[in-house]
């Protein structure tokens, strides 16, 4: 999918780009802390205390997670996280999304997804894993839009996106920060998050 399918410079209010690791990744924490209770529930599959979110954001800054952000006036208002695969055989990189309430249903999620796919290809990834709550219809619809084949099990939907089946974004759009018209948004949690939860509390998961 091309950025042209979802972006409209004529009504641009923000930009989509990858955050610089050292100086900008703390903005992910600030964005996650601003999420309203419903959005926080969707993103983390339940309410999480501020201190947990601060630790989660710090972990993302140190474990190789790539964060693509939608920014307005220099502040992160939506984010797509590309988590590196773990060390187990056949593990896939995993993705998660969060968008602040006032930007929902305005295309933010789709724009973030387009940029995330570019980043995943640049890293040499061939597929992405999606995990979302069964009640999160917006995320499931977005994942399906990008070719995910989701399966329902134990209260969640899981699936993979084959990057070879998605057309590359147009070069002139993917090479720069992307302004766009606000059109829609999603929030998500993933297995990488749950592995992080267990690690925080000293529990181990099987590889």
d(CA 47, CA 101) in angstroms, rounded, equals 16
57 touches 28 (CB < 8 A): yes
Of the listed ranges 130-139, 154-163, 198-207, the one predicted with least confidence: 198-207
Residue in 166, 165, 184 with CA at minimum distance from that of residue 174: 166
- Residues 152-201: pLDDT tens digits? 666 677 778 888 877 665 544 443 444 443 333 333 445 555 565 555 54
Decide: pTM greater than 0.85.
no
């Amino acid at each position: 999918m091309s950025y042209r399918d979802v972006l409209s410079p004529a009504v641009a209010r923000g930009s989509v780009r990858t955050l610089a690791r050292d100086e900008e990744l703390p903005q992910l924490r600030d964005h996650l802390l601003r999420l309203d209770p419903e959005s926080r529930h969707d993103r983390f599959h339940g309410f999480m205390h501020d201190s947990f979110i601060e630790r989660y954001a710090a972990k993302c800054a140190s474990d190789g997670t790539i964060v693509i952000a939608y920014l307005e006036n220099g502040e992160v208002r939506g984010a797509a996280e590309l988590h590196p695969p773990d060390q187990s055989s056949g593990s896939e990189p995993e993705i998660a999304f969060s968008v602040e309430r006032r930007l929902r249903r305005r295309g933010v999620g789709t724009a973030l997804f387009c940029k995330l796919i570019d980043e995943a290809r640049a890293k040499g990834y061939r597929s992405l894993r999606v995990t979302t709550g069964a009640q999160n219809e917006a995320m499931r619809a977005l994942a399906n839009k990008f070719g995910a084949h989701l399966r329902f099990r134990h209260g969640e939907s899981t699936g993979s996106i084959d990057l070879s089946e998605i057309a590359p974004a147009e070069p002139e759009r993917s090479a720069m920060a992307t302004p766009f018209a606000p059109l829609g948004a999603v929030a998500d949690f993933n297995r990488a998050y749950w592995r992080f939860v267990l690690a925080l509390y000293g529990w181990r998961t099987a590889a």
